[in-house]
Amino acid sequence: MRKRSHRSRAVVAVTAAAVLGAAGCDAFGAGGPEPSASQARKARPSPSPTPVWDSSPASIAAVGDSITRGFDACTVLSDCPEVSWATGGSAEVNSLAVRLLGASKAATHSWNYAATGARMADLPAQMAQAAVRKPELVTVMTGANDACRATAEAMTPVADFRAEFEEAMRTLRRAAPRTQVYVASVPNLKRLWSQGRTNALGKQVWKLGICPSMLGDADALDSAANLRRETVQKRVEDYNTVLKEVCAKDLRCRFDGGAVYEYRFGTAQLSHWDWFHPSKNGQARLAEIAYRKVTARNA
């Protein structure tokens, strides 16, 4: 009887252990410590995050200054939005809108609110206009006119430039919180001066008032002229720092990383009317840069 009793107890013990094991007795500490919450999260496969940036937006609005209006690209001292790098329909330029949307859709789903002579202070109003359309992408290229003033002393202060850009972004976000923003850097104005000053006709056009802070007395190389140009150039670099920093605070904003500033515009890329604004060829190069940045996998 005792042997049978021992065997019975052994069978019960084994059976009980099996039942507890099947029920997950490790959760009660028999098989080790309970996993922490962080360990549990690591153990579970996490879903892939939805990308914030859409590299194929279905509509585009452009804001900015004379460059985005195609100023002096077709005729002297005139806008030519047809060749705008952002929204133009010209086959010679193959604008960002055409590259992203196709020619027919670009004609009905892209809008150009840039204005020749516009400065950063004008950007909030342009953003408000663009937001009405609820575009999926807004392109921004402005800042050159903030540096291109009658004198270096008249340039927009960096703090004002920052406050105005922040206000422009807030204006857009209030009306279109999901719209993406592509921000192009301010071009290298000193390099444009060094290219254009080789042309006598261009220098005559500059005297009409095109970017006097940089282009005034184009052939002067004395210390005062050099200091003036260096001051303007430094301000452009500061503006680009602002564009980068403000854009970085917005998940749906991409700065071009200084690509436009670094691009070496040659005489073929400059208007033969003023040797300063982009020609059709220059507009096409801006479109290439923008398309590369907008469609890149990562900013």
**Which ranges of the chain have pLDDT less than 70?**
1-51
Same domain, 93 and 229: yes
**Quick one: pLDDT at residue 50?**
52
Strands 110-112 and 180-183, by their bridges, are: unpaired
Q: Which two tokens stand for residue 236?
A: 């452009």
DSSP string, 269-288: GB-TTTSSSB-HHHHHHHHH
* pLDDT score recorded for residue 36: 54
81 and 32: one domain?
Answer: no
What confidence score (pLDDT) does residue 11 get? 40
Range of the domain at 27: 2-43
| CATH number, position 184 | 3.40.50.1110
Taking the C-alpha atoms of residue 131 and residue 181, their distance in angstroms, rounded to an integer, is 11
Residue 50 lies in a domain: no
Indicate the pTM of the whole model.
0.82
Asked whether residue 51 is domain-assigned, the answer is no
Tokens of 241: 């720092």
For the chain, percent of residues with pLDDT exceeding 70: 83
Tell whether 121 and 167 lie within a shared domain: yes
Is there a domain that residue 13 lies in? yes
How far is Cα 290 from Cα 75, in angstroms, rounded to an integer? 24
| Tens-place pLDDT, residues 156-200 | 999 999 999 999 999 999 999 999 999 999 999 999 999 899 888
Q: Return the pLDDT at 4.
A: 44
Residue 55 lies in a domain: no
Identity of the residue numbered 225: A
Domain-embedded: residue 138: yes
Number of domains in the chain: 2
Kindly state the DSSP code that residue 258 receives in the 8-state scheme: T
CA dist., res. 234 & res. 112, Å (int): 29
CA separation for the pair 87, 134 (Å, rounded): 16
The confidence score (pLDDT) of residue 32 equals 43
Q: Which of 216, 230, 240 is nearest to 144 (CA)?
A: 240
Structure tokens at 4: 């049978």
| 169 shares a domain with 105 | yes
Is residue 200 within 8 Å of residue 272, measured between CB atoms? no
Same domain, yes or no: 24 and 115 = no
